[in-house]
Chains A and B, each alone.
Chain A
Amino acid sequence: DAKTTQPNSMESNEEEPVHLPCNHSTISGTDYIHWYRQLPSQGPEYVIHGLTSNVNNRMASLAIAEDRKSSTLILHRATLRDAAVYYCILRDAGGTSYGKLTFGQGTILTVHP
Chain B
Amino acid sequence: NAGVMQNPRHLVRRRGQEARLRCSPMKGHSHVYWYRQLPEEGLKFMVYLQKENIIDESGMPKERFSAEFPKEGPSILRIQQVVRGDSAAYFCASSRLGLGEKLFFGSGTQLSVL
Q: Could you list which residues of chain A lie within 8 angstroms of chain B, going by C-beta atoms?
A: 32, 34, 36, 38, 41-46, 49, 91, 93, 95, 97-106
Contact = CB atoms under 8 A, between A and B. Distances in A.
Decide if the interface of chain A is mainly helix, strand, loop or mixed: loop
Interface stretch (B13-21, B61-69, B76-84, B91-99): B91-99
Interface string B1-14: 00010000000000
Given A98-B48, A99-B33, A101-B43, 9 more contacts: A41-B107, A43-B93, A43-B106, A49-B102, A91-B100, A98-B95, A98-B100, A99-B93, A103-B44
A101 B100 contact: no
B72 interface: no
A42 B48 contact: no
Interface residues of B, number: 27
Contacts, number: 66
Decide if the interface of chain B is mainly helix, strand, loop or mixed: strand
Given A32-B100, A103-B43, A44 B48 contact: no
B101 A103 contact: no
